[in-house]
């Protein structure tokens, strides 16, 4: 069976009523027949039928054994870090999601967990960073916002040779394009707020493990800390997942068209999109992913915050907002928004230039999106860039 059919039919028909949509069990507790005798549910923090259905769907979707649904992507990441003890070390991708960096840097550093950041696209850098205390390698691939690609299969081998686990944040690729567990990773996490939900209407996170033992440990932490997704948001996430493959296919098609348009534009300096042959990791992306995702980043020849500001404030269809993966196209200026907390020199060294703009390509018609970008280039050329940087002309 193909993945789309499998996903749609992994969403069960309600046995009791025949309801084709998953019922929302908006209940805190469950009546017991006798003390400790119940129908598999006793309290909704521990287990809830709507959430349990969602967790089963995502586990299957990632090709894992255990799925768990959390209140946010960061809550999901937090639950995985609870596997570590004081003195343990993590090797993490340098272009990491800002919130994950803050969690490591400001929270888990207090508990004696050390994180070393390296360019995980280069295996030698990971090898150099691994110590006998390394318990976990943390990847995002593609990364945000420069869309760097790391070799999941090779890094899984390296992790296991050093008795470390590999966790992949699969938010950007989604299981529609890449299944890290099948490439040897032990754990996958998602900000389901993005493509899995897909409609910019929930905050949610997901963890899937390859092995049931690891899944059981994470489920224990989830119940012990009360870090769960509610029934209504679980329902919304299931509803979003139904169209995952359809949406992602169109996001990718639109994104490639826009990346090609940007690549030939005279005001654009660099375009970051793994689907372009100019991308340094294009071949690896083509091997590891079935398509290249819906996020495109680019820098302007006028590499200034002023030019980027003018750009992000002049689009009509692209809305200025953080987040990504929704139906409507969004754009953001990482230097002032998602990556504001990173010191400017470190940010620039990681390839996030002052003028870098990140686009989350939505499901509008690509011709309309390109027209929106074209009118924006024209208007900023008139109002800002000409004055600011005559060289651009
Ligand atoms: C958004 C995001 C997160 C955090 O998820 P929330 O749902 O906002 O808590 C983690 N990783 C990546 C790659 C993200 O884009």
Read off the tokens for 107.
């929270």
Where do we find the tokens 């049931």? 212
Task: Provide the domain count of the chain.
Answer: 2
CB of 305 within 8 A of CB of 298? no
Residue 200 CB less than 6 A away from ligand 1 = no
| Spatial separation of the C-alpha atoms in residues 210 and 212, rounded to whole Å | 7
Domain end residue (candidates: 241, 269, 296): 241
| 194 included as an active-site residue | yes
Instruction: Please state the φ and ψ torsions of residue 232, each to the nearest 5 degrees.
Output: -70, -45
305 and 269 assigned to the same domain: yes
Is residue 220 packed enough to be buried (19+ CB in 10 Å), middle (13-18) or exposed (0-12)? exposed
Show the domain range for 138.
Answer: 3-241
153 and 225 assigned to the same domain: yes
**What pLDDT sits at residue 346?**
85
Read off the tokens for 55.
């967790």
CATH (domain of 363): 3.90.1150.10
Read off the tokens for 115.
């994180």
**What pLDDT sits at residue 387?**
53
Instruction: Please state the φ and ψ torsions of residue 49, each to the nearest 5 degrees.
Output: -60, -40
48 and 194 assigned to the same domain: yes
319 Cβ contact partners less than 8 Å away, ≥ 6 residues apart: 328, 329, 330, 331
171 and 222 assigned to the same domain: yes
194 and 261 assigned to the same domain: no
CB of 169 within 8 A of CB of 193? no
Q: What separation in Å is there between the alpha carbon of 387 and the centre of ligand 1?
A: 38
**What pLDDT sits at residue 338?**
84
88 and 235 assigned to the same domain: yes
Residue 71: CB atoms within 10 A of its CB come to 17
pLDDT, tens digit, 9 for 90 and up, residues 178-234: 999 999 999 999 999 999 999 999 999 999 999 999 999 999 999 999 999 999 999
Read off the tokens for 168.
């992949």
254 and 208 assigned to the same domain: no
37 and 166 assigned to the same domain: yes
* CA atoms 297, 303, 308, 311: torsion sign: negative
218 and 297 assigned to the same domain: no
CA-closest residue to ligand 1 atom 5: 73
DSSP 299: E
Q: Which long-range contacts (CB under 8 A, 24 or more apart) does 199-203 make?
A: 199/236, 199/240, 199/326, 199/327, 200/323, 200/325, 200/326, 200/327, 200/328, 201/236, 202/233, 202/236, 202/237, 202/240, 203/71, 203/72, 203/73, 203/233
Domain end residue (candidates: 224, 241, 258): 241
Task: Indicate which atom in ligand 1 lies nearest the CA of residue 204.
Answer: 7
202 Cβ contact partners less than 8 Å away, ≥ 6 residues apart: 192, 193, 233, 236, 237, 240
58 and 106 assigned to the same domain: yes
Domain end residue (candidates: 209, 241, 273): 241
CA-closest residue to ligand 1 atom 1: 191
359 Cβ contact partners less than 8 Å away, ≥ 6 residues apart: 255, 258, 295, 296, 297, 298, 318, 329, 330, 331
CB of 303 within 8 A of CB of 355? yes
CATH (domain of 208): 3.40.640.10
Single out the residue of 114, 116, 178 nearest to residue 151, CA to CA.
Answer: 178
| 365 included as an active-site residue | no
187 and 206 assigned to the same domain: yes
Which residues are 44's β-sheet partners? none
| Spatial separation of the C-alpha atoms in residues 199 and 360, rounded to whole Å | 13
CB of 210 within 8 A of CB of 182? no
- Residue ranges of the chain with pLDDT lower than 50? 391-393
Half-sphere exposure of 263 (CA within 13 A, CB side): 15
Q: What separation in Å is there between the alpha carbon of 93 and the centre of ligand 1?
A: 15
43 and 87 assigned to the same domain: yes
CB of 146 within 8 A of CB of 297? yes
| Spatial separation of the C-alpha atoms in residues 381 and 392, rounded to whole Å | 9
**What pLDDT sits at residue 382?**
75
CA-closest residue to ligand 1 atom 2: 191
Residue 194 CB less than 6 A away from ligand 1 = yes
Q: Which of 78, 151, 169, 354 is catalytic?
A: 169
| 97 included as an active-site residue | yes
Measured distance between the N- and C-terminal CA atoms of the chain, rounded to whole angstroms = 54
| 169 included as an active-site residue | yes
Q: Which DSSP helix (H) or strand (E) runs through 3? A: helix 3-10
DSSP 315: -
| Spatial separation of the C-alpha atoms in residues 339 and 99, rounded to whole Å | 9
DSSP 360: E
């Amino acid at each position: 069976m193909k993945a789309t059919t499998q996903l749609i039919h992994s969403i069960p028909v309600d046995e009791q009523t025949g309801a084709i949509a998953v019922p929302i069990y908006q209940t805190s507790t469950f009546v017991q027949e006798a003390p400790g005798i119940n129908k598999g549910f006793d309290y909704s923090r521990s287990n809830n039928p709507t959430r349990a259905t969602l967790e089963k769907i995502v586990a299957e979707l990632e090709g894992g054994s255990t799925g768990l649904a959390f209140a946010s992507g960061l809550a999901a990441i937090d639950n995985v870090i609870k596997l570590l003890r004081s003195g343990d070390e993590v090797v993490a991708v340098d272009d990491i999601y800002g919130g994950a960096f803050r969690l490591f840097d400001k929270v888990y550093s207090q508990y004696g967990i050390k994180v070393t950041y390296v360019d995980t696209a280069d295996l030698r850098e990971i090898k150099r960073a691994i110590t006998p205390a390394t318990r976990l390698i943390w990847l995002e691939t593609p990364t945000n916002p420069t869309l760097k690609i790391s070799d999941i299969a090779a890094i899984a081998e390296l992790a296991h040779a050093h008795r470390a686990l590999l966790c992949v944040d699969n938010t950007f690729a989604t299981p529609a394009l890449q299944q890290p567990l099948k490439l040897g990773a032990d754990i996958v996490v998602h900000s389901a707020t993005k493509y899995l939900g897909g409609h910019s209407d929930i905050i949610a996170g997901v963890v899937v493990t390859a092995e049931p033992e690891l899944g059981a440990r994470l489920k224990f932490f989830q119940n012990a800390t009360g870090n769960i997704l509610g029934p209504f948001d679980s329902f919304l996430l299931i509803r979003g997942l139904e169209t995952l493959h359809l949406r992602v296919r169109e996001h990718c098609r639109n994104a490639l068209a826009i990346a090609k348009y940007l690549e030939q534009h005279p005001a654009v300096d660099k375009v970051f999109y793994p689907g372009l042959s100019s991308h340094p990791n294009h071949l690896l992306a083509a091997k590891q992913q079935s398509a290249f995702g819906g996020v495109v980043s680019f820098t302007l020849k006028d590499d200034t915050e002023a030019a980027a500001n003018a750009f992000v404030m002049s689009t009509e269809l692209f809305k200025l907002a953080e987040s990504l993966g929704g139906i409507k196209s969004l754009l953001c200026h990482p230097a002032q928004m998602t990556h504001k907390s990173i010191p400017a020199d470190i940010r620039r060294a990681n390839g996030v230039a002052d003028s870098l703009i990140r686009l989350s390509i939505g499901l509008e018609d690509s011709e309309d999106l390109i027209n929106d970008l074209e009118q924006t280039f024209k208007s900023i050329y008139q109002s800002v860039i000409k004055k600011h940087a005559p060289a651009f002309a």
